[in-house]
Amino acid sequence: MIIQKTLAFIEENHMLEECETVILGVSGGADSVCLLLVMEEICKQKNIAIKVVHIEHGIRGKESINDAEFVEKLCKEKEIPFFLYSYDVPNVAKESGESLEEAGRRLRYEAFEKTAAQFPKAKIAVAHNENDDAETVLFHMARGTGLLGLTGIAPVRGNIIRPLLAVSRTEIEAYLKAKGQNYCTDSTNELTIYARNKIRHEVLPALERVNEKAVSHIAKTSYLLSEVADYIKEETKKICAECAEEYKMRDAFLVKKQELYHYPVFLRKEVLYTLYTKLAGSCKNIGDEHIMQLLELFDRQTGKQINLPYHCRAFRVYEGIWIQKDGEKEDDSEKKNQIKSLTSAFTFRIIDRNSQNLEIPKNKYTKWFDYDKINVKLQIRFRQEGDYFLLDDSGRKKKLKDYFINEKIPREDREKIPLLVDGKHVLWIVGYRISAYYKVTGNTARILEVHYNGGNKQ
């Protein structure tokens, strides 16, 4: 019965298509031993080779070593190639800052992938079952989750397959008993100090007293929700393409309000979650509160900003919101190189006013300034806090920030506009205007001519 059920599930999810080798993760517990026996028979029918990988985590001392010896002996009896990986997981977790569970999981899958890389067209099979799926759904619900968390464990993820996901733990134990096959028991699985173990030993049994098929029903619901989630994921991709512009060089997205607000709030949040997690490079600890902050930013004034986890920021701009990843801290040497490169795009010439036939150039990227009014030190840089220029001869000051806002220059462009400055006083907003203070008048004795080679020559 369990063979046929597993085979049907494998074929329904196309798990073994174009597969020549299956790498089995076998811990020695009931689930993984069942996986070994079932896949041995199925792969024999399909003429697919199998290999076994066991990871000794260095956590449970002699018990852990005994598990490794048990799996190795079982493989030897069945003439199945066996690969053993030993790690000091507690020490790795301490050095990396991960939890024991996180470090152990990462090292397991690294070992699986390392083994799979040695064989052509290999898939990795792990022993998650129907109970694991139900436990995962309840665990996610207990700590707070969205739709994706309710989909449980995916049957297929890349080259990783889970053939036993439609089989309950009761069926697994009954199958092993009928086969007369013993297995190892991990003593830590009985400790209810772990959240998942509480669900396994206390919550699920209570639910099964309400309905004996509770596990199966929860798993079935997660499967149905996964179909809904797949549909929403595809729709979200289409909406992202319509509503957002990606700026790869700056690790940023511009999300356009007018286009996004054609869709209901639920899809708006999905779009923002998708874009933000892509920038962050992780979805861990990114919750609904962060997505709501982004959503609320659309209704705030232009220029308002919020800080987000993973060194990300979001700004309200005219078109909608701008989300970017700033990184840890820009390296000073990188910034100096950028300024150096920028400086090389400018050429300078000092002209004596006594020269004849002088006419102020009309070229957008060539400007004249009164050289003798430059007080501090001429620099080329990008904008800084406190930058200003003079609007007219009466001496009215204008903050650069306010000028950008009034001219409706998108925030993402403001950071890229070169400035010619004298301290905090901006002589030239390149491509836009100059400060009235430095303009050439009848009293100008020497002219500073500046040409920007990076602009369009007119």
> Mean pLDDT over residues 91-114, rounded?
88
Instruction: Judge whether residue 336 has pLDDT over 70.
Output: no
Find the radius of gyration of the CA atoms of the chain: 32
**Confidence at residue 96, expressed as pLDDT on a 0 to 100 scale:** 83
Contact 52, 81 (CB under 8 A): yes
Q: Which amino acid is at 254?
A: L
Which run of H or of E encompasses 146? none
For residues 117 and 23, is the Cβ–Cβ distance under 8 A?
Answer: no
What percentage of the chain reaches a pLDDT higher than 90? 57
DSSP structure class, residue 319: S
Around 91, how many Cα atoms within 13 Å sit in the side-chain half-sphere?
5
Give 220-232 pLDDT, tens digit per residue: 999 999 999 999 9
Note the pLDDT tens digit of each residue in 26-64: 999 999 999 999 999 999 999 999 999 999 988 878 888
With 0-12 / 13-18 / 19 or more C-beta atoms within 10 angstroms meaning exposed / middle / buried, residue 27 is: buried
Domains of the chain: 2-226 (3.40.50.620), 251-325 (3.30.465.60), 332-452 (3.50.40.10)
Cα angle 101, 106, 111 (rounded to 5 degrees) comes to 125
User: Is residue 416 left, alpha or beta, with left meaning phi > 0 and alpha meaning psi from -120 to 50?
Assistant: alpha
Q: How confident is the model at residue 416 (pLDDT cuts 50, 70, 90)?
A: confident
CB neighbours of residue 33 within 10 Å? 24
Picking from 105-114, 162-171, 439-448, which range would have the lowest pLDDT averaged per residue? 439-448
- pLDDT-based confidence at 235, cuts 50/70/90? very high
- Give the strand pairing for 122-125 and 21-25: parallel
Confidence bin at 331 (pLDDT 50/70/90)? very low
State CA 380 to chain mean position distance: 35
Query: Which pLDDT band, with edges at 50, 70 and 90, does 330 fall under?
Result: very low
Cβ-based neighbours of 29, under 8 Å, separated by 6 or more: 127, 183, 184, 185, 186, 189
Long-range own/partner contacts, residues 138-145 (CB < 8 A, 24 or more apart): 138/199, 138/203, 138/204, 138/218, 139/195, 139/196, 139/199, 142/195, 142/199, 144/287, 144/288
The pLDDT of residue 7: 95
Distance between CA atoms of residues 98 and 79, nearest Å: 37
d(CA 146, CA 166): 23
Three-state DSSP class for 205? helix
Q: How confident is the model at residue 334 (pLDDT cuts 50, 70, 90)?
A: low
* Nearest C-alpha neighbor of 261 from the set 241, 245, 243, 237: 243
Strand order in the sheet with 82-86: 82-86, 49-56, 21-25, 122-125, 160-161, 156-157
Tell me the residue type at 175.
Y
pLDDT at 332: 46
Other CB atoms within 10 A of residue 189 CB: 12
* Local confidence band at 79 (pLDDT 50, 70, 90 cut-offs): very high
Mean pLDDT, to the nearest integer, of 363-383? 83
Query: In the predicted model, what is the mean pLDDT of residues 137-142?
Result: 91
3-state helix, strand, coil in the chain (%, to 5): 45, 20, 35
Reported residue count of the chain is 458
